[in-house]
Amino acid sequence: MRTFIRTQWPTLIAASGLILVGCGLPTEGEEIAESSTQEAIASSNGLTTINGLSSANVLSSANGLSSANGLSSANGLMTSSGGRDTVSYLVRCALPAGHSIVKKDNTGKSYTFPGALGLAPEWESGACGLSCQEYVTACMMAHINTTGIHVPLWLVSDSKTMGWGLSSSYPHQEGSFYGNIFVSPPIAYYCDGKDFAVGVVAGRIGSNQVGAPYVNSFWYNGYHCAANCATADNPNDGAGFKACSGFNHIVTVWRQ
C-alpha cells in the first residue's frame, strides 16, 4: 500500500482551468539534443510551476490527446496562453520526436504541439493509463525551474525511448521525480541525487527553491534517493532509480 504525502500545490487554477506560468519553450536548436544511441534525452527546463491535470482542465486521460474528447478546444487548457504552455510540455514529454498534435483554441486558431521525449506515445490516440500518467508526471516535474530560467538537463529513466545512458557533459546527478499529478489532490515528489548540492542552478533542487510544486518524500529518512529508492539494474545502477515510494516510473535528472 502506498503512503502518500499530499503536495500543497500553488493555487493557479482559474475558472478556465489550469494555468502554467513559464518562460515559454526553448528556441529552436536549444530544445532537444540528440544522442547516437537515444532519440531525445537532453532537454531544457523552464516551467515555473504546474498544477494537477484534473478534469477541471478539460483534459481527459481516457481519450487520446489528438481526439476532440481528449483535449477540449472550447474550454480549459487551450483557452489561455499559460494553458497552451502546459499542453506544449505535456506533448513534448508524452510523444516522440516526429509526432505532433494540432489543436484549436476557443477562437478557432490552430496550434501545433511537437513531441520530443516519447515517454507515453500511446496517449496520442488512446487512453493515458497509470504508467502514462506517472511518466508524464515525472517528466513535467523534471522540467520545473521556479525562476523560469532555461538550463540544460539530461534525463534518464526505465522508458525504452529514454533509457539509462549518461553524458559526460552532464556529470551531476541532481535528483529524481515521481508521482501522479492526474489525481486529485495531485501527488508530486522528488528526492535528492548524490550531487544535488554540486553545480547548483537557480530554481532547481539544492538552490532553496521557493514555490516548488513538489515535496521530498523522504523528509523523515535523510532526503536522498540512494538511501530510499531502488536503483536501476546493473550495469545502470549508477544512472538512476527504477522505483521510489511505490511509484515505478521515475525520471532522474543530471545537470552540467
Give the rounded percent of residues in the chain with a pLDDT score beyond 70.
Answer: 77
Task: Print burial letters for 128-139: b (CB count within 10 Å at least 16), e (below 16).
Answer: beeebbbbbbbb
Alpha carbon 171 to chain centroid, angstroms: 21
pLDDT on residue 28:
28
Cβ neighbourhood burial of 5 (10 Å; 0-12, 13-18, 19+)? middle
CA–CA dist 159, 250 (Å, integer) = 9
Grid cell in block for residue 36? 547516437
Provide DSSP, 169-235. T--EEEEEEEEETTSSS-EEEEEE-TTTTSS--TTSTTS--SS-S-EETTTTTTSBSTTTSEEPPTT
Residue 7: which of 154, 144, 130, 202 has the closest Cα? 144
16 falls within a domain: no
Grid cell 501522479 is found at 180
Dihedral sign (CA 128, 133, 138, 141): positive
1 falls within a domain: no
80 falls within a domain: yes
Residue 138: which of 121, 155, 150 has the closest Cα? 155
CA–CA dist 229, 218 (Å, integer) = 10
pLDDT on residue 20:
28
Mean pLDDT computed over 199-219: 82
Mean pLDDT computed over 105-122: 94
pLDDT on residue 177:
95
pLDDT on residue 42:
62
Mean pLDDT computed over 28-34: 31
What is the bridge-based pairing of β-strands 215-216 and 241-243?
unpaired
CA–CA dist 38, 170 (Å, integer) = 15
Q: Identify any residues that bridge with 190 across adjacent strands, giving them in sequence order.
A: 177, 216
pLDDT on residue 192:
92
Mean pLDDT computed over 19-32: 31
Mean pLDDT computed over 162-178: 94
Look at the chain and report how many structural domains it folds into. Answer: 1
- Considering only CA atoms, give the Rg of the chain: 17
Task: Count the Cβ atoms, other than its own, within 10 Å of residue 179.
Answer: 28
28 falls within a domain: no
Q: How confident is the model at residue 113 (pLDDT cuts 50, 70, 90)?
A: very high
The residue range of the domain holding 47 is: 42-255
24 falls within a domain: no
> Does 136 score more than 70 pLDDT?
yes
pLDDT on residue 81:
82
26 falls within a domain: no
Which of 48-57, 63-72, 111-120 comes out lowest in average pLDDT?
48-57
What is the bridge-based pairing of β-strands 215-216 and 187-192?
parallel
pLDDT on residue 39:
37
138 falls within a domain: yes
Is 91 within 8 Å of 141 (Cβ atoms)? no
15 falls within a domain: no
